[in-house]
Amino acid sequence: MPIQVICPGCQARFSVSDQFSGRSGPCPKCKQPIKIPAKIQSIQIHEPEAPTTTSKGTGRAPTAPIRRVDKPIAPLVIVATAVGTVMLMVLALLAQWVCGAAIPFWLMALAALGIALPCVRMGYEILREKELDPYRGRSLLMRTLICASVYAVLWGVRWLLPAEVTAEMWQWLYIAPIFFFAGSVAAQATLDLDWGPGAVHYSLYILVTTLLRWLAGLPPI
């Protein structure tokens, strides 16, 4: 196979037989000595190694992509949430029958936190980013408790607002965005939800509490 040679003096290009590889000779044009490059050895291309899923025995990092299995919601969680929701509705009706409109604040505060826990848990399963590994076990429990506590505190802040500030529906056009912003921040910080899903997550809690307040004979908002 001929070897391509360029004269360093006159820049002439020509080909020589590979039998002269590694030798020196004069340029055919300017007679300047030229060193013929050594013959290029053939390159053997190997097939790529099969991807590995473990580093055991190889000492190298795994090359196969990690497959993530998305686990569905456990049936026990769904059943427990459904039963808890029904019980909360029954308790709201009983509160209306026993206390009327004079429900103690401490009882409503406990109810606000108790409602927030299943709302936060189920809302996370529905709205979480499916491309990310879900939180499970103690981590999910702690994050659910923190997010539910923030939601309950926001409910308490709304309860402490003066009546003249929330008497008209148009006033909520200025107040509601503050609560939804705080709820979205809580969902984003604890459950890694984006702004949109975070606002929807907090809205689920608002809808459930509004329904239960209506069942208890209280103003929905």
Asked if residue 98 and residue 172 are part of one domain, the reply reads yes
Strand partners, 4: 15
Quick one: DSSP state of residue 216?
T
Asked if residue 202 and residue 112 are part of one domain, the reply reads yes
Dist. CA 184–CA 195, nearest whole Å: 6
Asked if residue 87 and residue 141 are part of one domain, the reply reads yes
Whether residue 55 is contained in a domain is answered as no
Return the SS3 of 15: strand
Asked if residue 211 and residue 120 are part of one domain, the reply reads yes
Asked if residue 204 and residue 96 are part of one domain, the reply reads yes
pLDDT at 67: 60
Q: Is the pTM of this model over 0.95?
A: no
pLDDT digits (tens, 9 = 90+) for 132-149: 788 888 999 999 999 999
Asked if residue 193 and residue 118 are part of one domain, the reply reads yes
Asked if residue 199 and residue 122 are part of one domain, the reply reads yes
pLDDT digits (tens, 9 = 90+) for 157-195: 887 777 777 777 777 788 888 889 999 999 999 999 988
Whether residue 50 is contained in a domain is answered as no
Asked if residue 81 and residue 8 are part of one domain, the reply reads no
Whether residue 51 is contained in a domain is answered as no
Dist. CA 155–CA 169, nearest whole Å: 17
Q: What are phi and psi of 15, to 5 degrees?
A: -115, 140
Quick one: DSSP state of residue 88?
H
Residues 182 and 126: beta-carbon distance below 8 Å? no
pLDDT at 36: 75
Task: Give me 8's structure tokens.
Answer: 């360093």
Q: Which domain holds residue 12?
A: 3-35
Dist. CA 194–CA 221, nearest whole Å: 26
Asked if residue 99 and residue 155 are part of one domain, the reply reads yes
Residues 193 and 129: beta-carbon distance below 8 Å? yes
Q: How many domains does the chain have?
A: 2
The pairing of beta strand 13-16 with beta strand 3-6: antiparallel
Whether residue 70 is contained in a domain is answered as no
Computed over every residue of the chain, the mean pLDDT equals: 76
pLDDT digits (tens, 9 = 90+) for 6-64: 887 788 887 777 777 777 878 888 888 888 777 655 555 666 666 666 656 555 666 65
